[in-house]
């Protein structure tokens, strides 16, 4: 089903927040075109793991590697290859959906053309909302506006933290098909979830089981 | 570089659509300065004597008041994560944000200052020097302020802490800024003071983005 080479790998990851050890000894390997589902009860460090994989948080111990090389050796290249969707949607009330999308693409050094913008907005059914300031959006619409970033610029690695939060069934379907296309193109996704999303995950990492 | 201009454009656009913050800073600057003639009396010689100091101190406090908007909203709405995850160096993005902050808050102060100078009976011959000193000094205020706010981003009530961190570093700008204008008022050479102000700007222009980006990365942990 896959070529078995680990593109993204973690070895012996330890995460401490303040005095508290969140998790220790987290190991996984994900190959191209694969999805890793991260599950576990609240507070077991799903969000911390994703921030750690994004490079926003340094691990207390252990390494994250991409194609065999530790990502800490070249953080610039690592940032260029990943999309991170956290809990916050990073939208400004005064900016429209399209403006926010374009800004986040430009942050990644890409100036998307009209067709790319249209396909990114269309992938999450935002076509009619493109010119609406974000302050008028519902929670689910805000979430979709954040998820559209995944399509606006290409990235090999998607790190999604509870991406279905606030989404209706139709939008969950849109996310599933976006993930499917990402995998078909050889992309990797690490998704923290409480279920409700059919990931077709190749592996599941249960952080509840690795807590010390 | 394109990421820097993207940040600059976005912040200017946000300020244009929600001008409240920018207007507040200028209003504070103008209104608090206008209070001085009521406090010390309308005698022209007293006002002229204190005018330079009052304008500079009020500019400092107005800049301090405006600092919180620099990173707070980005930190709260998750934008800061994405700034830090941009392939472009965070230092450049910080420079873009500081430049936007200066254009939004520093530049309006400079534009309002001749009006206040007139109100406080400042000698006419000192006006060009006042504008020039503010033009060199206020970007330094934004650069220093960025370090202060980024260090206190983790603290819920960071306001007082920012003042404690930033005001001591503002003192050299105040001294040379006032010195330049006083010299011009007295018909002396303002150039040495202006050069020292320029030196401060040259010091903080590279130092502030590096220090601020380091502090922001810490805040994201």
Q: Using the beta-carbon criterion (under 8 Å), do A90 and B79 form an inter-chain contact? A: yes
Distance of alpha carbon B148 from alpha carbon B152, whole angstroms: 6
* pLDDT at A210 exceeding the cut of 50: no
Tell if the CB–CB gap between B82 and A107 is shorter than 8 Å: yes
* B44 alpha carbon, distance to own chain's centre: 28
Q: CA angle, corner B125, sides to B123 and B131, nearest 5? A: 95
Q: Which tokens go with B139?
A: 């970007």
CA distance B198 to chain A (A): 31
Nearest to B14 among A58, A90, A92 (CB): A92
pLDDT band at B69 (very low <50, low <70, confident <90, very high): confident
pLDDT band at A32 (very low <50, low <70, confident <90, very high): very high
By the 8 A CB rule, do B130 and B181 touch? yes
Which among A46, A67, A26, A28 is positioned nearest to A156, based on CA atoms?
Answer: A67
Helical (H) or strand (E) element with B188 = none
Q: Compute the distance between CA of residue A209 and CA of residue A120 in angstroms, rounded to an integer.
A: 37
User: Is the per-residue pLDDT at A4 higher than 60?
Assistant: no
Q: List Cα–Cα distances, A121 to A57, A81, A112, A139, B88, in angstroms.
A: 30, 21, 12, 16, 25
How does residue A105 score in pLDDT terms, banded at 50, 70 and 90?
very high
Kindly calculate the radius of gyration of chain A based on its CA atoms and give it in whole angstroms: 17
* B contact test, residue of A108, A139, A150, A158 with most B CBs within 10 A: A108
User: Can you give the pLDDT at residue A27?
Assistant: 92
As a whole number of angstroms, the distance between CA B178 and CA B184 comes to 10
Tell me the pLDDT of chain B averaged across its residues: 94
* Whether A56 and B84 lie within 8 Å, measured CB to CB: yes
B77-114 pLDDT, tens per residue? 999 999 999 999 999 999 999 999 999 999 999 999 99
Q: Are B74 and B94 in contact (CB under 8 A)?
A: no
Nearest to A79 among B14, B17, B87 (CB): B87
Q: For chain B, say whether A108 makes contact (Cβ under 8 Å).
A: yes
Report which DSSP code applies to B106: I
Output the pLDDT for position A5.
63
Structure confidence at residue A142 (pLDDT): 95
Q: Is the Cβ pair A58, B18 closer than 8 Å?
A: no
pLDDT one-digit tens code per residue, B24-49: 999 999 999 999 999 998 898 999 99
Q: Which of A102, A103, A131, A136 to mutate to test the interface with B (most CBs of B within 10 A)?
A: A103
pLDDT at residue B151 greater than cutoff 90: yes
Angle (nearest 5°) at CA A198 between A192 and A199: 55
What the block records as the tokens of B39 is 């406090």
Give me the DSSP letters along B54-88. HHHHHHHHHHHHHGGGTTHHHHHHTHHHHHHTSSS
Given a cut of 60, whether residue A183 has pLDDT beyond it is: yes
Higher pLDDT, B174 or A19: B174
A147, two tokens: 């998820």
pLDDT at A21 over 70: yes
Q: Find the mean pLDDT for residues B152-178.
A: 90
Q: How many CA atoms lie within 13 A of A179 on its CB side?
A: 24
ipTM for the whole predicted complex goes beyond 0.95: no
- Substitution target in B85, B88, B91, B218 with the highest count of A β-carbons within 10 Å is B85
CB distance A109–B7 less than 8 Å? no
Asked if A24 and A14 count as a contact pair (C-beta separation under 8 A), the reply is yes
Asked whether the beta carbons of residue B77 and residue A88 sit closer than 8 angstroms, the reply is yes
Sign of CA dihedral A100, A102, A103, A109: positive
Mean residue pLDDT across chain A? 90
Residue of B nearest to A102 (CA): B6
Residues ≥6 apart with Cβ < 8 Å to A169: none
Residue A211's pLDDT band (boundaries 50, 70, 90)? very low
B188 Cα to chain A: minimum distance (Å): 48
How many Å apart are CA A72 and CA A11, to the nearest integer? 13
pLDDT at A128 over 60: yes
Residue of B nearest to A91 (CA): B77
Output the CA–CA distances (angstroms, integers) from residue A26 to A57, B130, B170, in the order listed.
15, 61, 47
Distance of residue B78 Cα from the nearest chain A Cα, in angstroms: 5
Judge: B85–A86 Cβ closer than 8 Å, yes or no: no
CATH of span A32-56+75-204: 3.40.50.300
Mean pLDDT of A21-47: 91
Per residue, what are the HEC states of chain A?
Answer: CCCCCEEEEEEEEEEEECCEEEEEEEEEEEECCCEEEEECCCCCCHHHHHHHHHCCCCCCEEEEEECCEEHHHCHHHHHHCEEEECCCCCCCCCCEHHHHHHHHHHHCCCCCCHHHHHHHHHHCCCHHHCCCEHHHCCHHHHHHHHHCHHHHCCCCEEEEECCCCCCCHHHHHHHHHHHHHHHHCCCEEEEECCCCCCCCCCEEEEHHHHCC
pLDDT for res A209: 60
User: Is it the case that residue B156 has pLDDT exceeding 80?
Assistant: no
- Checking if the pLDDT of A3 tops 70, the result is no
Looking up tokens 């010299």 gives B183
Is the pLDDT at A202 greater than 80? The verdict is: no
Q: Between B181 and A43, name the one with better pLDDT.
A: B181
Confidence of residue A178 (pLDDT cuts 50, 70, 90): very high
């Amino acid at each position: 089903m896959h070529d078995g080479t680990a593109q993204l790998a973690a070895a012996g990851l330890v995460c401490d927040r303040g005095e508290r050890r969140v998790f220790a000894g987290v190991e996984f390997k994900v190959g191209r075109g694969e999805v890793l589902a991260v599950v576990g009860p609240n507070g077991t460090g799903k969000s911390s793991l994703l921030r750690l994989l994004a490079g926003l948080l340094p691990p207390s111990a252990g390494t994250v590697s991409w194609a065999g090389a530790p990502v800490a050796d070249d953080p610039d290249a690592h940032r260029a290859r990943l999309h991170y969707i956290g809990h916050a949607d990073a939208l400004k009330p005064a900016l429209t959906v399209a403006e926010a999308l374009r800004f986040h693409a430009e942050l990644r050094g890409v100036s998307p053309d009209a067709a790319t913008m249209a396909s990114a907005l269309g992938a999450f059914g935002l076509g009619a909302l493109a010119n609406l300031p974000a302050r008028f959006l519902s929670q689910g619409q805000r979430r979709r506006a954040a998820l559209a970033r995944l399509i606006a610029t290409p990235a090999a690695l998607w790190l999604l933290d509870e991406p279905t939060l606030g989404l209706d069934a139709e939008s969950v379907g849109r996310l599933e098909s976006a993930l499917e296309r990402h995998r078909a193109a050889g992309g990797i996704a690490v998704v923290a979830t409480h279920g409700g999303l059919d990931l077709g995950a190749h592996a599941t990492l249960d952080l509840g089981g690795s807590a010390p | 570089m394109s990421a820097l201009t993207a940040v600059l454009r976005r912040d200017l656009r946000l300020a244009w659509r929600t001008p409240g913050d920018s207007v507040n800073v200028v209003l504070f600057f103008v209104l608090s300065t206008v209070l001085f003639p009521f406090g010390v009396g309308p005698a022209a010689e007293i006002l002229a004597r204190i005018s330079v100091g009052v304008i500079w101190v009020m500019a400092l406090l107005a800049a301090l008041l405006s600092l919180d908007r620099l990173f707070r909203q980005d930190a709260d709405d998750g934008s800061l994560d994405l700034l830090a995850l941009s392939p472009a160096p965070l230092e450049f993005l910080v420079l873009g944000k500081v430049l936007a902050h200066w254009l939004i808050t520093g530049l309006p102060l400079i534009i309002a200052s001749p009006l206040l100078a007139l109100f406080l009976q400042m000698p006419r011959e000192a006006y060009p020097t006042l504008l020039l000193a503010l033009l060199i000094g206020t970007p330094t205020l934004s650069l220093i302020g960025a370090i202060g706010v980024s260090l206190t981003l983790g603290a819920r009530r960071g306001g007082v802490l920012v003042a404690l961190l930033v005001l001591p570093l503002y003192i050299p700008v105040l001294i040379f800024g006032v010195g330049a204008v006083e010299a011009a008022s007295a018909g002396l050479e303002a150039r040495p003071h202006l050069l020292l102000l320029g030196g401060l700007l040259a010091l903080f222009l590279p130092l502030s983005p590096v220090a601020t980006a380091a502090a922001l990365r810490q805040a994201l942990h």
